[in-house]
Amino acid sequence: MAKQLRVALEIGPKGKKVVAVAPDWPGLERGAKTGEAALERLQSYLPRYAQVAKLAGMDAEFATLSTLDVVEHYPGMSSTDFWSISFACSSIDKQDLSSEALERELTLMQACWAFFDDVRGRVSADMRKGPRGGGRDRDHIVGHTIRAEQQWAEKVGVYTLQSAILNDESLQAHRDAYYSAIRAFHAEGKMARTWPLRYLIRHTAFHTLDHAWEMEDKDLTAGVR
């Protein structure tokens, strides 16, 4: 039976940008200049997110989502207007999260990591540049993504030196410590400093996916995009 995809709209304080957030599917967020455009953009990314849902073993559930259901409008921050990215918490982010729901979200976050790793392993090292020759190459994108995640992991007490993540084994160790710490904080009823755990998870998942899709879109390997 077809179901609706819950969506919350984060609106920048100056109304310059709106971000459509799918709170039940960490990482599925898209921004645009208007709410309608953000919803259209989010819907256009459903086939791409389906690959993440499949990695999480939730592809059958995700395939039933055919329409969008806007359940909340909430204020964003100045960064929302500037970056067209979610930087504020919705009321859904602040709701209590059951242990079962937490495990579901952590599974999807790990699927985002798996998708990111697959992409970085198959795209070209050189990325397509912008019209003025700007833009980062693959290794710069990967490094930025991991460094940002290391900073957010500190919110749950995980401190990994940037120099420590030099290979896949050490990166996996960092990730294991990260989601284990989130579990521990949840068990103690603690927030990630000022961030609800649900926001920490979805922000981590979004940043991972956003840059995975960036690498796909800028890949110079013959025969893709």
Together in a domain, 172 and 124: yes
pLDDT at 133: 66
Question: Structural domain of residue 208, as residue ranges?
Answer: 99-218
CB 22 within 8 A of CB 85: no
Tell me the per-residue pLDDT of 152-208, one tens digit each, with 9 for 90 and over: 999 999 998 877 777 889 999 999 999 999 999 999 999 999 999 999 999 999 999
Residue entry with tokens 């930087």: 87
pLDDT at 222: 67
User: Residue 27 — φ and ψ, nearest 5°?
Assistant: 105, -20
What is the DSSP track for 38-82? HHHHHHHTHHHHHHHHHHTT-HHHHHTEEEEEEEEEEE--HHHHH
Together in a domain, 11 and 119: no
Domain boundary among 28, 58, 83: 83
Together in a domain, 120 and 214: yes
Residue entry with tokens 């859904």: 92
Together in a domain, 79 and 109: no
pLDDT at 161: 82
pLDDT at 225: 45
**187 Cβ neighbours under 8 A, 6+ residues apart:** none
Strands 29-32, 18-21: pairing is: antiparallel
Question: Does 120 fall in a domain?
Answer: yes
Q: How far, in Å, CA of 165 to CA of 174, rounded?
A: 8
- pTM score of the predicted model: 0.95
Question: Does 175 fall in a domain?
Answer: yes
Closest CA to 45 of 61, 72, 22, 71: 22
